[in-house]
Structure 1
Amino acid sequence: MLERVLRVLEYPKVIEQLGQRVSSSLGKEKVNQLKPSFIYEEVKKAQQSTYEGSTVLRLKGYVPFGGVQDIRPSIKRASIGGMLNPSELLDIANTLYGGRQLKLFLEGLLDSVELPILADLASQISSLKPLEQEIKSCIDDQAEVLDSASSALRQIRAQIRTAESRIREKLNQMTRVQSYQKMLQDPIVTIRNDRYCLPVKQEYRANFGGIVHDQSASGATLFIEPEAVVTINNQLREAKLKEEREIEKILRQLSESVSLEVEALSLNIAALADLDFIFAKAQYAKQIRAVQPKLNQEGYFNLKKARHPLIAEDEIVPISFDLGREYTSMIITGPNTGGKTVTLKTLGLLTLMSCSGLAIPAEEGSEIAVVSAVYADIGDEQSIEQSLSTFSSHMTNIVRILAELDHQSLVLFDELGAGTDPTEGAALAMAILDHVYQQGAKVVATTHYSELKAYAYNKDTVMNASVEFDVETLRPTYRLLVGVPGRSNAFSIAKRLGLSEEIIEQAKAQIGEDDSRVETMIASLEENQKLAEKEREEASQLKDEIATLKREIQKKEEQIDKEKEKRIDEAEKAAQEYFTKMMKEADQIITDLREAASNQEVVKEHVLIDAKKRLEAIQEASAGTKSKSKASPATGQAKRSTAQNLKPGDEVYVHSFGQKGHIVEQVSEQEYTVQIGIMKMKVSKAQLEKIKAQKQAIQTPRATVKKSNEPTKMELDLRGQTIDEAIMALDKYLDDAVMDNYHQVYVIHGKGTGQLRKGVQDYLKKHRNVKGMRLGGAGEGGSGVTVVELS
């Protein structure tokens, strides 16, 4: 029954189209074996695999499947000890390469997207790169065994080339000798029976020694191997026999290597076949603009603008309807060639495609039930061989369907009850529909019988539908109108074709008043249906426009946010660069003061005044800029709170100078006098922060800051610091050491490149409190330590 249904619904044609999208014979075989499954979990997994394949195509646009071949026969021969030829071995190597490239391609996507089925198949592909390299090292891309396959083969082929060269040289010399030229049919060297020969005229046979290997069809030319090259030709023949034996040896070794990996190769082929099949389904879905259907087990169908995949898109009219919730049966009426049968076939074929794991040509949100079986009685089933009429053949098929269907089946009847007396046929059709309904199956039937329109109207679970017919053009529109039974349109058509009004009115008088009212009612329903659909389309279009505007607004808001962030980043970057510049200037001022202090006992007043003015100018510019910034670029922290409690004697970090100092006195509520080195400056409270509170935030030298109650150590470790960092730490350390009355301290700078030692010692030479210095002795750290004597 299934095979017949597949044929009637044209499922094999879909399989044929699908088969055109595969990349190898492996995938082709999987496609040819494809049949719909009616087990929900299997269908769900098949649909998931198609979805994953479509996702990969959407993200990458292609899938690398080059080189993959069906190597199963070769694997089987290798497993039983057979010797594979170079072409078979090359196919195995190329398949290994293609499989590895596909595996890497898929694994590269797994970090960004979840593909469980494809990931599992990719994990089953073994690289087997050593086997591939072993084959490729012996066989080239033209399936020829390389000279480098073995040292023996290289030597043998060198002998062959030498022998061939000697033979050709001797024979070419003979063709150039004038006395021989008149005896030759052509002055060329040829090969007969793998022996080098000359084409000699028949009458000069006696002038040539050697062996005759062949003659022309006319007998006028003899192909003679001259005696002068017989010995060399024999040597060449022996070398070629050796070559054949060596090649056979190499091929047997390679075949044995293949036999050791038979299991892994078989798993590779199985995984590659599945992957080729999955991506063929994805390619086919892209070709027919298909979507993944929602699946259910409740027998519910909801097709949204579904199209028959075998009808050209510019010719098909999409259909939309529900089945299985409010009503379980649908009766479609309408004129011949109006699209009733196409509607049946579309529903049936799309159900079979869904149950095969294929995407369906419809709009997003379409839903398909995974049924227990699909039954169809469609088309002219007249059988001359069995002497069955159309009606008898249909009934035979319907009897089989009724015997097999269950509550989860989908049944499709085309022209139910046709081919017999209309009254009896209509009654029989209603009885069949009642039986199918009692079994709980879902059914769609087409008919011409008016009685079935009333049957559908009186049944709560049956819905009328029709295919629209344009009376003006006398052509069907192929649109499906759900909820509206079809009209005969006989009078309208006759009038359009020129039948007189008198005859038409007389005909109308022949039909009953009830029939007339029904026709009028149907006409009214059709008009209302058209109006409702038009309004629905307008509402849908308006909804789409609103959604588009919403997306555009969101996009503009995102652009504004990005531009805002960009400008903030640029402002912060500019502020950072500015503050860096200011800090360098402050550092330079401090350095200049220190140099001045080291070169003279008392710093002159004008030098202090000039330095103070420069620092105050930097402070004012820095404070003005920082008031506009949301954070301090110098420290990377948020704005400092002005609520901190500062008092004379507190050690603070002056952010505007990037230096440490001590508060001398409070000038006002928001200003303090701070001593930085030998300078006293008035600094805004907003630029000050206690050392303790900002221990983790400020960029202090890596040397440990001395606590007020903590004695200074006898040594200072500067290893790992830059010269500038080391000098800042060293300056503070020497001040602390002098305050603690140390006369000798140890500065650890390490050996390294010697740059840090040189920078430290150059600074020590200029320091006012340094009396002398020397490198450490044997027990003091050697050249990695400088011993400093303090005054």
Structure 2
Amino acid sequence: MEQRVLKTLEYDKIIALLVDKASCTYGKEKAAELTPFVQLDEVKIAQQGTQEAATVLRLKGSAPLGGIRDIRSSVQRARLNAMLAPLELLDIASTIMAGRRLKNFLLDMCQDHDLPLLQQQAERIEGLRELEMEIRRCIDENGDVLDSASVELRQVRQEIRQVESRIREKLDQMTRSSSYQKMLMENIVTIRGDRFVIPVKQEYRHVFGGIVHDQSASGATLFIEPEVIVSMNNKLRELRLREEREVERILYILTEQVSFAVEALVENVDALTELDFLFAKAQLAWSMKAVCPKLNDRGYLQMRKARHPLIPREIVVPVDVELGGEYQAIVVTGPNTGGKTVSLKTIGLLSLMAMSGLHIPAEEESEMTVFSSVFADIGDEQSIEQSLSTFSSHMTNIISILEKMDEKSLVLFDELGAGTDPTEGAALAMSIIDHVIDSGARMVATTHYSELKAYAYDRPEVINASVEFDVQTLRPTYRLLVGVPGRSNAFAIARRLGLPEAIIEVARGSISEEDNQVESMIASLERNRKSAEADRNAAASLRREAEELRRQLDEERARFAEEKNKLMERAEEEARIAVQLAKEEAETIIRELREMRDDGVEIKEHRLIEAKKRLGNAVLELEKEKVKKPARAVRATQIKVGDEVMVTSFGQKGTVLEKVNNDEFLVQIGIMKMKVRRDDMNVQNSITQKPQTAPYTSVNRRTASIKMDLDLRGYNVEDAIREMDQFLDDALLGGLHSVSIIHGHGTGVLRKGVHEYLRSHRNVKSFRLGGQGEGGVGATIAELK
């Protein structure tokens, strides 16, 4: 890809955002070098890596990427046996630990989820626990070599501390002595050149002897090493030299151990670089609310609700674009500042992002293609140095594009043919579009020329598009309308601003009949489009309602079957217990009768056997009743409004609301009303036979008026709780099993209050935030007991 095109489409700004998401130097460098791939297999692998990392972030929130240091120069120095400094060794230990922690985290994730690319990178990381532990045993977190690093170092440092103690003790005696105090500038012991000294007034220098190591700026104070401690300071110096040699020996040993692990460390760095890069791409996708697109190499792309990633989400207007299927080129017309260039850049930038393995800010099921190259001529590229006009500059760029493009290229032209005579410019623009189409490339072009509107109708490979303009507010809506050419709107704007109608009519009369017909045709197309869009939205809404009703019905049926099975099991268990108790009671009675007979009471044996037999028969009848299916309700020939019926095809009870005709009735089943045929119903309870069932009928009727959602936006927490309390009571009374509570996004205070209330409510089984189509994080779905 040409760097000029990447800069024109603001790809460099996306890369800057990606670099900012990386955690370590390695990942930032790899992110900064990212360029689009041109092979489908490469793009698929890149997108898969981003998707796997996004899955980890979605499930875990983050990945443990902390502690990774840039150890590449240290590893290379270890390869050359150059002694590493303590802090360099600490960075190596930190990176080893960070790699092992990330590896364990990812491999645990891979046990429950299919993440082959992440697993492959994680398995490349060597644990190197022994090297890390040895470095940490010898060096503390501040980069100091510990006494425990070796026996020799511990002994030397013990001697150093002993000698220092004796020196300080000797000097402290001198500073506390009354005979010396008047000779000292201060009663302190200090250090100059690694040797202990005391501050002596200049005139008493000869009293202490020894060595002068420093003096004050005024010369009044001399820092003298008294003669009595010179030998002890010499001894201390020798010990410190031994300490330095031992520390160097330890560092060389550690460096040698690092050199043995150089290859493993380099492999770890490569794997950590790739993992940090993948998670940076996933973080960028999360921040943009981006999705993984479908991919192809057929030159077909379909963007659904695509958003320019550099425009704030709250103000960007999504666009729907399809290119490369039925149409090879799109010609976009419309007023200035209407959003034509933004739409053009959105198409180009999202194509580059998809080819780079980055997710795109669009809706699910968007499909992108892998182009061999992307070309763009956008903006004012006038060159002062070359003394080229705007038109010349654009034409020079266009000529270069026409020479380099092929059938797998995407070509973007902004204001094609502008900057010259309108007639010649329009003719040139049409000729250029013809040439691009003949080459097989995909193209999107914006223009002001009205001639290109009719041109697009004459070419089956080209489709018109426009950016919408609201004549009432005199502002563009920035919506891209594919299939409808743009209107000039000059007369409408002038009328709106108050220009006299007579002037407007004179101006309209000066326009050719053909141009007026084109404008009328465009206006008709726009009206038809808006009508079709409204019908489509209404149909989509009805479809969603039907799907929701079907889902609720399926849940009701499943719940009914489950409750029926539970009741059957409970009845069987109760019958079994009753039978067992009866048998035990019978055995007890017979045993007592026999005992009475043995005591002399006259009881015939055959009477005992007969009694037991009758009990056995009773048990058998109970067992039969236990497994017998519930008796089917008697089919009634006369069904009346208010009857409780069983709808055979759904397996659910309902209430007859009204008679439609002789064969059909309107029946209320839960929250739904539907027409049911007479032969599909069995009367359960008739209002004439069982008037006491009327209360159930009224409850069923009330259900129809109960809402399944409660909108609390604008409420404070206290008022919201009162509303929820009444709402949940009505929902439970109406037999609802799931309700939606809308609290909006806001500051989160209302959502927190709603969740705390639901968590403590005795009749709420569970709750969750809404999903796609349910209000997202602005709504909570509660399951009732």
TM-score for the superposition, normalised by structure 1: 0.72
Letter in structure 2 aligned against 1:434: D
Matches within 5 A, 1:314-463: 314-463=314-463
Mapped partners of 1:578, 1:193: distance in 2: 101
Q: 1:749-770 CA deviation, whole Å, 9 max, x = no partner?
A: xxxxxxxxxxxxxxxxxxxxxx
| 1:6 alignment partner in structure 2 | 6
3-state secondary structure, aligned to 2:270: helix
3-state secondary structure, aligned to 2:34: coil
1:54 aligns with 2:75: no
3-state secondary structure, aligned to 1:110: helix
1:38 offset after TM fit, Å?
Answer: 0.8
Mapped partners of 2:89, 2:506: distance in 1: 86
| 2:137 alignment partner in structure 1 | 137
1:234 offset after TM fit, Å?
Answer: 1.7
Letter in structure 2 aligned against 1:208: F
Mapped partners of 2:181, 2:506: distance in 1: 109
Q: 1:34-56 CA deviation, whole Å, 9 max, x = no partner?
A: 00011110001000111111111
3-state secondary structure, aligned to 1:23: coil
3-state secondary structure, aligned to 1:108: helix
Mapped partners of 2:379, 2:523: distance in 1: 29
Change in CA separation of 1:406 and 1:109 when aligned onto 2, cut-off 3 Å: same
TM-score for the superposition, normalised by structure 2: 0.73
Q: 1:561-589 CA deviation, whole Å, 9 max, x = no partner?
A: 77788889999999999999999x99xx9
3-state secondary structure, aligned to 2:111: coil
1:70 aligns with 2:78: no
Change in CA separation of 1:605 and 1:538 when aligned onto 2, cut-off 3 Å: farther
Mapped partners of 1:348, 1:396: distance in 2: 20
Change in CA separation of 1:605 and 1:326 when aligned onto 2, cut-off 3 Å: farther
| 1:493 alignment partner in structure 2 | 493
| 1:509 alignment partner in structure 2 | 509
Letter in structure 2 aligned against 1:470: D
| 1:684 alignment partner in structure 2 | none
Q: 1:626-646 CA deviation, whole Å, 9 max, x = no partner?
A: 88999xxxxxxxxxxxxxxxx
| 1:307 alignment partner in structure 2 | 307
| 2:648 alignment partner in structure 1 | none
Letter in structure 2 aligned against 1:121: Q
3-state secondary structure, aligned to 2:431: helix
Change in CA separation of 1:618 and 1:350 when aligned onto 2, cut-off 3 Å: farther
Mapped partners of 1:469, 1:529: distance in 2: 14
Mapped partners of 2:575, 2:91: distance in 1: 64
| 1:271 alignment partner in structure 2 | 271
Q: 1:356-395 CA deviation, whole Å, 9 max, x = no partner?
A: 0000000001011111110000010101011011111101
Mapped partners of 2:15, 2:167: distance in 1: 60
- Give the aligned length: 614
Letter in structure 1 aligned against 2:69: Q
Q: Check conservation: 2:576, 2:623, Cα contact below 8 A.
A: no
* Runs of at least 5 residues in structure 2 that lack an aligned partner in the other structure: 589-597, 628-785
| 2:191 alignment partner in structure 1 | 191
1:551 offset after TM fit, Å?
Answer: 4.9
Matches within 5 A, 1:64-213: 64-213=64-213
Change in CA separation of 1:578 and 1:256 when aligned onto 2, cut-off 3 Å: farther
Change in CA separation of 1:32 and 1:627 when aligned onto 2, cut-off 3 Å: farther
3-state secondary structure, aligned to 1:111: helix
Mapped partners of 1:563, 1:16: distance in 2: 58
Mapped partners of 1:154, 1:276: distance in 2: 41
- Bigger drift between 409-418 and 206-215 goes to 206-215
1:218 aligns with 2:215: no
| 2:659 alignment partner in structure 1 | none
Change in CA separation of 1:151 and 1:560 when aligned onto 2, cut-off 3 Å: farther
Change in CA separation of 1:402 and 1:493 when aligned onto 2, cut-off 3 Å: same
Mapped partners of 1:491, 1:143: distance in 2: 78
Change in CA separation of 1:112 and 1:567 when aligned onto 2, cut-off 3 Å: farther
3-state secondary structure, aligned to 1:233: helix
Change in CA separation of 1:581 and 1:94 when aligned onto 2, cut-off 3 Å: farther
Mapped partners of 1:142, 1:131: distance in 2: 18
Letter in structure 1 aligned against 2:157: R
1:167 offset after TM fit, Å?
Answer: 2.1
Mapped partners of 1:178, 1:627: distance in 2: 116
1:547 offset after TM fit, Å?
Answer: 4.1
Mapped partners of 2:564, 2:181: distance in 1: 93
Mapped partners of 1:12, 1:249: distance in 2: 49
1:111 offset after TM fit, Å?
Answer: 2.1
1:186 offset after TM fit, Å?
Answer: 2.7
1:546 offset after TM fit, Å?
Answer: 4.1
3-state secondary structure, aligned to 2:481: strand
Mapped partners of 1:627, 1:319: distance in 2: 68
1:549 offset after TM fit, Å?
Answer: 4.8
1:139 offset after TM fit, Å?
Answer: 1.4
3-state secondary structure, aligned to 1:212: strand
Mapped partners of 1:156, 1:389: distance in 2: 81
Change in CA separation of 1:459 and 1:185 when aligned onto 2, cut-off 3 Å: same
Mapped partners of 1:317, 1:255: distance in 2: 58
| 2:689 alignment partner in structure 1 | none
Matches within 5 A, 1:514-553: 514-551=514-551
Q: 1:486-536 CA deviation, whole Å, 9 max, x = no partner?
A: 111111112222322222111111111111121111112112212222232
Mapped partners of 1:255, 1:341: distance in 2: 58
Change in CA separation of 1:44 and 1:185 when aligned onto 2, cut-off 3 Å: same
Mapped partners of 2:489, 2:348: distance in 1: 29
Mapped partners of 1:444, 1:336: distance in 2: 17
Mapped partners of 1:431, 1:491: distance in 2: 30
3-state secondary structure, aligned to 1:214: strand
Letter in structure 1 aligned against 2:430: M
3-state secondary structure, aligned to 2:487: coil
Percent pairwise identity? 59
Change in CA separation of 1:344 and 1:111 when aligned onto 2, cut-off 3 Å: same
Mapped partners of 2:69, 2:581: distance in 1: 67
| 2:15 alignment partner in structure 1 | 15
Mapped partners of 2:171, 2:351: distance in 1: 76
* Root-mean-square deviation (Å): 3.4
Mapped partners of 2:238, 2:563: distance in 1: 82
| 1:243 alignment partner in structure 2 | 243
1:210 offset after TM fit, Å?
Answer: 2.2
Mapped partners of 1:180, 1:10: distance in 2: 78
* Runs of at least 5 residues in structure 1 that lack an aligned partner in the other structure: 590-602, 631-791
3-state secondary structure, aligned to 2:395: helix
Q: Check conservation: 2:285, 2:360, Cα contact below 8 A.
A: yes
1:545 offset after TM fit, Å?
Answer: 4.1
1:303 offset after TM fit, Å?
Answer: 0.6
Mapped partners of 1:253, 1:617: distance in 2: 97
| 1:27 alignment partner in structure 2 | 27
| 1:675 alignment partner in structure 2 | none
Q: 1:652-696 CA deviation, whole Å, 9 max, x = no partner?
A: xxxxxxxxxxxxxxxxxxxxxxxxxxxxxxxxxxxxxxxxxxxxx
Mapped partners of 2:576, 2:122: distance in 1: 50
